[in-house]
Structure 1
Amino acid sequence: MAARIDHVVTSGTFTLDGGTWDVDNNVWIVGDDSEAIVIDAAHDAAAIAKTVGDRTLRAIVCTHAHNDHVNAAPALAELTGAPILLHPDDMPLWRLTHAERAPDRELSDGQVIEVGGVALTVLHTPGHAPGAVCLYAPDLGTVFTGDTLFSGGPGATGRSFSDFPTIIESIRNRLLTLPPETVVRTGHGESTTIGTEAPHLDEWIARGH
C-alpha cells in the first residue's frame, strides 16, 4: 500500500513568556498501512494514537519544542513505544514543558527519515525557534513546515528564542528553493504551496515581522 498523509486537528493552549493562548494544531501522520511517523504530537495523545491505529509508530518527530507542539509527545511515546526526535538546539524550549523527560534522539540537518516507502529529509530552519525543522518529502510532493512557514507568511518571531532575520533566511534558502508545486503542510491553519508563497518574500521583509 502506498504511503499516505493523515491529518488530525487537536486543540489546547500555547504558553510562552508569561502568556497563554488558545490554539488549534495540525498533527500530521505519514506512513502506509503497516507503519507511520507522527509530526508534532500536540495536545491529545489518545486522538493521535487512534488515527495511527494498529500501525507501528516509528517516530514522534517534533518540528520545534514550543509546548503546543510537544505537550502530548511523552504520553504518545508511552502509548506506542515510539521514540521522540528533536533538534538539540530546541532543548531549552523542551525543558520548559518536559523538564523530567528528555527526547530520545536528535534530529540533524540533512537526516533522512524513512517510513512507508518514502523518505523525509530534515531541513534545519531556525528562526521561529532555534531548533526548528521542516520535513521535505519529495515523493509525496510536500513539505511539513511546523511554524516556520504558513499560508500568508513566516511564523511568529516576537517571543523568546526567535529571530525574524533568521526565519527569513531559513525560508529563502531552505524552503523557497523547493519546487513551486510543493504543498506546504503547516503547524496551524490551512495548507498552501511554495509557489503561492514565494512571490511575497519581499512583502514579509518590508513588514518586518
Structure 2
Amino acid sequence: MSKLTLLTDQVGPWKMNSYVLIDPDTNQSILFDPGGSPDKLSAMLGDSTPSAIVLTHTHIDHIMALDEMRKKLGVPLRLHPGPHDTTEDTHVVGDSALNDGDTLQLGSHTLRAVYAPGH
C-alpha cells in the first residue's frame, strides 16, 4: 500500500487552500474545499478518478467552485450536517452526511472524519 499524495493550491479571490488527496495505487482522488478557480482544481485532479468532494465547512471562500465542480465530476458531496457557523446563507446540501468518526474509502486507504468546529 503506497502513501497517499496530497496536492494543494490557493484558489479563488481569497487565495483559500483547496486540496486533492490521491491514492497512487488506484488513482482515486478526493477534492476538498473547491473554493474557486475550477481550472486550477481540474489541473490538481489531473487524470485521477475523483470519488467525492468534501467540504470542511460552508464559508463562501470554500465553496465558490462547488456547483461547477459537482456538475463536472458527478461525485457525491460529503459534509458535516451542521449547524454551520457562517454568516452567509449558502444553502449547501450534501449527498450524505460526514459525521465525526465516519469513514471515507480512498483506494485501499480508510480515512476517518474528525469533527473540529471553528475556523
Alignment TM-score, normalising by the size of structure 2: 0.83
Decide which of 71, 83, 92 is 2:64's aligned counterpart: 71
AA matched with 2:5: R
Structure 1, residues 80-109: CA drift from partner, whole Å, max 9, x if none? 111111111146849723x4x622111111
| 1:7 alignment counterpart | 8
- What is the aligned length? 116
**Aligned-residue CA RMSD (Å):** 2.2
Q: Is 2:83 the counterpart of 1:82?
A: no
CA–CA distance in 2 between the matches of 1:48 and 1:86?
A: 19
CA–CA distance in 2 between the matches of 1:95 and 1:27?
A: 20
Query: Percent identity at matched positions?
Result: 26
SS at match of 1:124: coil
5 Å matches for 1:48-197? Answer: 48-90=41-83, 93=86, 96-97=89-90, 99=91, 102-126=93-117, 128=118, 147=119
Q: Higher helix share goes to which structure?
A: 1
| 1:175 alignment counterpart | none
2:101–2:113 contact (8 Å) kept in structure 1? yes
| 1:31 alignment counterpart | 22
| 1:205 alignment counterpart | none
AA matched with 1:11: G
Structure 1, residues 142-171: CA drift from partner, whole Å, max 9, x if none? xxxxx3xxxxxxxxxxxxxxxxxxxxxxxx
Structure 2: segments with no counterpart, 5+ residues: none
2:56–2:79 contact (8 Å) kept in structure 1? yes
Structure 1: segments with no counterpart, 5+ residues: 13-22, 129-146, 148-209
Greater RCO between the two (CA within 8 Å, min separation 6)?
A: 2
Change (3 A) 1:95 1:87: farther
